[in-house]
Structure 1
Amino acid sequence: MTKHPLLISRGLLMLTGGFSMLQAGSYMVKPVRIELSARQLRTTIQIQNLGNEATTIQARVVAWNAKGLEEVLSENDEILLNPPIFTIAAGREQSMRLGLRQPKPATVELTYRLILEEVPPPPRPEFTGVNTVLKISVPIFVKPAMPAPQLTWTVKHISDKELQLAVENQGNSHVQIKQIAVTGADRSEPDFVKNTSTYVLKTGRKEWVIRDAHLAGAGRFLVQARTDNGEIRETLSPDRP
């Protein structure tokens, strides 16, 4: 389970007399990723209100699946959570418990999203601004007995100066890509580096456009990806249209 907290800001934009003022309250959620398995059926997350006012949060879990580039969220009741709605006083913390409703052996990873959404309070009589509310999404992974992501990388020209780098996952579990570096065959340092936090779910696909004339003209290059499953190195030659 990832331990790093996620700090979220909620903004209240007030427009008066041509001037804008942003009042922000902050919330800390930890962990930022939830992992369950046959060995760990339940877990707890913490939501802390760092703002100056009490707030009410409503929680729900949806299934999260991918088919190619499309990611779909759909209603689902396989994950239990308690409490589903709660109020956190200013400066206080709320615990939420999550668990599998019916544990079952899985040969493929099951993926969900925990949606935490602020319930907006009634506006004050004197308030005439725009009230924006907090809505965040935390990934939930139910790991199979033997996780085995399988990534296939491809690259193709989309113009004389642009390439499209793509990755598909035909394995049984996700990969989180944290950084991508692409180096031309005649270079010692990367021509293209992208820091990211991209989940490639099973049967999912992700694409990036690389705008670099040198790489577009190279016949071969090295792709290095830093992931939550280790480092990946692939030597690719671009397909031409």
Structure 2
Amino acid sequence: MTPRLCLLAHRTEVLMNPFRRVGICFTLSLLSFGHVQAVNLVFTPTLLNINPIRTLNASTSVQNKDTVPVEFTVEVMRWSQQDGKDVLELTPEVLTNPPRFVLEPGRTQTIRVGLRTRGSLPEATYRVVLTGTPKSTPLISTANAATVSGSITTRYAFSLPLFVTVPGAVAHLRPRLEQTPDGLVLRWTNDGTAAASLRNSSVTHGGEKVPVGGTYVLAGSTVTLPLPLHDYPQDGLSVSYTDQGQEKHERLGLQTP
């Protein structure tokens, strides 16, 4: 059964769960002045990997399970992390085919990406960003009896991770517990040569497991996750997380930034 993610939001940008590696169905709804517009799309896969020793290409497909056509543009962004934040920059290093298309209801489109060169880094990281605009003109109405007709432009952004990784590149993730002016944080540093896929991280506090969340930590980068705790036990905290599919458990003491 295909996993389904249903969202009802005012925002027009939706970033995909970076940890889903299989097909995923997006049911996206935009609520505006009493009228609801939705778009239902299936992406397979949602994470792209290229071993540049074997190939320079990868592909994904998107299926339109809605009743309205959706116009897409496809861009590839160089993905880095600075000061714990994701940074995306347009790059000519990766080509897309097609760069623009209209997806009719019930149809599927394959999107191919290709490297211009093999590169020299153990791993290069990108985001394939698909911006979709439903080709329909909804009505806009006020909450009272008066009605005003018009049109709005709704755009949805889907961001798919693309990893170009040579064999032998590995992640090396190190957690660190710190006290900051804003509270306790877990600071994750990746000293390896490949991105770390941090999942299901939690801390045990007072006998209770407290979820912290997950993220990617790119090679050579540090990402900070806040801890929803108001006090700190003197004997430290137990940290559990999944890194590259392996469950890990560590005992951390408080350190100064």
Runs (4+) of structure 1 exceeding 3 A deviation are 9-14, 119-127
Task: Kindly indicate whether residue 233 of structure 2 is the aligned counterpart of residue 212 of structure 1.
Answer: no
After superposition, the Cα gap between the structure-2 partners of 1:51 and 1:117, relative to the gap in structure 1 and judged at 3 Å, is same
Task: Kindly indicate whether residue 250 of structure 2 is the aligned counterpart of residue 234 of structure 1.
Answer: yes
- 1:40-84 per-position Cα deviation (integer Å, ceiling 9, x unaligned): 322221101011011111101010011331321112111121111
Match of 1:192 in 2: 210
- Is contact 1:67-1:203 (8 Å) kept? no
- 1:107-139 per-position Cα deviation (integer Å, ceiling 9, x unaligned): 421000001012464747984254422111101
Task: Kindly indicate whether residue 27 of structure 2 is the aligned counterpart of residue 5 of structure 1.
Answer: no
- Is contact 2:68-2:136 (8 Å) kept? no
Match of 1:132 in 2: 154
CA distance in 1, matches of 2:82, 2:35: 42
Match of 1:26 in 2: 40
1:78-227 alignment, distance < 5 Å: 78-104=93-119, 106-119=120-133, 121=135, 123=137, 127-128=149-150, 130-158=152-180, 162-184=183-205, 189-196=207-214, 198-213=215-230, 216-227=232-243
After superposition, the Cα gap between the structure-2 partners of 1:227 and 1:119, relative to the gap in structure 1 and judged at 3 Å, is same
Gaps of 5+ in 2: 1-18, 140-147
Gaps of 5+ in 1: none
Task: Report the count of equivalent residues.
Answer: 230
- Is contact 2:203-2:212 (8 Å) kept? no
CA distance in 2, matches of 1:2, 1:120: 24
CA distance in 2, matches of 1:183, 1:10: 35
Task: Kindly indicate whether residue 49 of structure 2 is the aligned counterpart of residue 35 of structure 1.
Answer: yes
After superposition, the Cα gap between the structure-2 partners of 1:195 and 1:153, relative to the gap in structure 1 and judged at 3 Å, is closer
Superposed CA RMSD: 2.7
User: TM-score normalised to the size of structure 2?
Assistant: 0.79
Task: Output the amino acid matched with 2:240.
Answer: Q
The alpha-carbon deviation at position 87 of structure 1 amounts to 1.0
Residue identity over aligned pairs, in percent, reads: 23
- Is contact 2:83-2:222 (8 Å) kept? yes
CA distance in 2, matches of 1:140, 1:120: 25
User: TM-score normalised to the size of structure 1?
Assistant: 0.84
The SS at the match of 1:111 is strand
After superposition, the Cα gap between the structure-2 partners of 1:3 and 1:193, relative to the gap in structure 1 and judged at 3 Å, is closer
- Is contact 2:48-2:163 (8 Å) kept? yes
- Is contact 1:165-1:208 (8 Å) kept? yes
The SS at the match of 2:122 is coil
